[in-house]
Structure 1
Amino acid sequence: MRLIQITDCHLHADPEARSRTGIPCRQLERVVAAAAALRPDLVLVTGDVSEDRTAASYALAERCLSVLDRPWFWLPGNHDDPDLMSDCRPFHPEVELGDRRLLIVDTQWPGREGGRIGEARLKGLAERLAEDDRPILVAMHHPPLAVGSAWLDALGLADAEAFWETLADHEHVEAVFCGHIHQAFVGHGPAVAGAIPVYGCPASSDQFLPGSTDFSVDEASRPGFRVIDLHGDALTTWVERVDP
């Protein structure tokens, strides 16, 4: 099975609107075309679909992503309006992956750039984790650990420790995939939770400069997406880039 992650589209209602380094709608179209050529079984969009929180921006995203002709799912990021987003296309808390499960965790913290799962959603996650012992992938917008950029780390997941404590009793969690950081990234959670790998993904829009103290756009890097191949007990993942 092949899963593709797309993230941080930052679309405007106007498809010709510019970001700092390009035109997000055109870049998403190229990311989607490149992703479709790899024949995924399904696609997950891990938040910040919109930049201006308009119904028109979500309709534009849906038109772009429907070119995939494959099942696709999305979750909200800190820039998104979840009501408008779900009106356009409903959210799914879980996706069946055959021998695996994909659990989708909402980290949006209303009014904040950083993320928070919250006690109620953590309790719900624990209940879902305990339902069966198939390998589990977890997807969220905010990264649950530091990524090495001071300004981004200040906008990470506020209750990351509670998240890892929730996962600690569940050895069948295989990996966590996140958005928000606009860059390729590989890290690991704390040893108490089994050092679960955490994968970040390039944005389809602007890229952020890794290791920066202050906000910095990486003008030399290109938009991209993450490919996740699942074969038996093996998980293989890598990043693909496209010309903007």
Structure 2
Amino acid sequence: MIVLAQVSDTHIDLGERNTERTRRVAAYLDAIPGRIDAVVVSGDIADHGAVAEYELARQLLPSRHPVYLMPGNHDSRDALRRVLLGSEGTGPINQIHQVGELTLLLVDSSVPGQSWGALTDETYAWLADALAAGSGPVMVFLHHPPVRLFSPLVDPIRLVGDEQFADLLAGSGRVVGVACGHAHTPATTVFAGVPLVIGPSVASILAPQWETRECPMVDYTSPPALAFHVVDDTGRLTTHFRTVSKRFTENAFDPALAPRS
């Protein structure tokens, strides 16, 4: 099986709050005794796209596992490329990573200067070629959800052009799941005939429409959260969600401290 950790929407802004929350999640991942095959950071790494924010992110992100990064609407492609990827270039940051038998396709849905997401013609061509290049299972990551989530803040700035995206994924026969961020809430649904998982945010939680009258639309009090995606040998995707409280310590995984059942 392949185990992926998805971290999303850290919104590192040089302030202590989001710095501490990102550091806490990274420490949790680095302390896990079992194997994690890769960590995917699904966008909005920085809050303002500043070089200093990416320099801090480089210090904060997990160090024990391979980490793959992609941009969100708050990110700067140029700064992310230079500081975190060590590369130059223009246009979308689309990436292919092989993790065992699983191919990860990191699709850049960011639109410079905009909060909503879209895929360029260049990205569609790249994605079509990547899906046609092999026969093994594929998991697709992007920042913007391609479906309505009944979130007053997120739905107006989700991915546009989702029908073309869905047709491309459904036609490949290789995609076992799609994961994204942006919504600041864990959620699951189906897209293009496969599971769609929305990873939670490290920075905050956004309330869906049925909570907004009685609850704050943005919840800054809940602990940071992340997702674990497991792709088994049959291609089945299973996702677990975890929150990381302030009480977490590296000793949390000590079998000697485990509660008796």
Given residue 63 of structure 1, which amino acid in structure 2 is its aligned partner?
A: Q
RMSD: 1.8
Whether the 8 Å CA contact 1:42–1:72 is kept in 2: the answer is: yes
User: Is residue 22 of structure 2 the alignment partner of residue 28 of structure 1?
Assistant: yes
> Residues of 1 paired with 2:148 and 2:243: CA distance?
24
Shift of 1:92: 6.2
Q: Which residue of 2 aligns with 1:180?
A: 182
Whether the 8 Å CA contact 2:37–2:99 is kept in 1: the answer is: no
Alpha-carbon spacing, 1:212–1:108, altered in 2? closer, same or farther (3 Å): farther
Larger radius of gyration, structure 1 or 2?
2
> Residues of 1 paired with 2:151 and 2:84: CA distance?
33
User: What secondary structure, in the 3-state scheme, does the structure 1 residue paired with 2:206 have?
Assistant: coil
> Residues of 2 paired with 1:97 and 1:200: CA distance?
21
Given residue 60 of structure 1, which amino acid in structure 2 is its aligned partner?
A: L
Which aligned runs of 4 or more in structure 1 are off by greater than 4 angstroms?
212-215
Normalised to the residue count of structure 1, the TM-score between the two structures is 0.89
Whether the 8 Å CA contact 2:226–2:243 is kept in 1: the answer is: yes
Count of aligned pairs between the two proteins: 232
User: Is residue 81 of structure 2 the alignment partner of residue 86 of structure 1?
Assistant: yes
Q: Which residue of 1 aligns with 2:206?
A: 208
Whether the 8 Å CA contact 2:207–2:219 is kept in 1: the answer is: yes
Q: Aligned to 1:150, which of 139, 149, 152?
A: 152
Alpha-carbon spacing, 1:211–1:9, altered in 2? closer, same or farther (3 Å): same
Given residue 242 of structure 2, which amino acid in structure 1 is its aligned partner?
A: E
> Residues of 2 paired with 1:52 and 1:100: CA distance?
33
> Residues of 2 paired with 1:92 and 1:162: CA distance?
17
Structure 1 gaps, min length 5: 17-22
Q: Percent identity?
A: 30
Structure 2 gaps, min length 5: 86-92, 247-261
Alpha-carbon spacing, 1:85–1:212, altered in 2? closer, same or farther (3 Å): farther
Alpha-carbon spacing, 1:37–1:211, altered in 2? closer, same or farther (3 Å): farther
Q: Deviations over 1:88-143 (max 9, x none)?
A: 12266111021110101000111210000122211210111011111110000001
Once the two structures are overlaid, the 10-residue window that deviates more, 207-216 or 148-157, is 207-216
Normalised to the residue count of structure 2, the TM-score between the two structures is 0.84
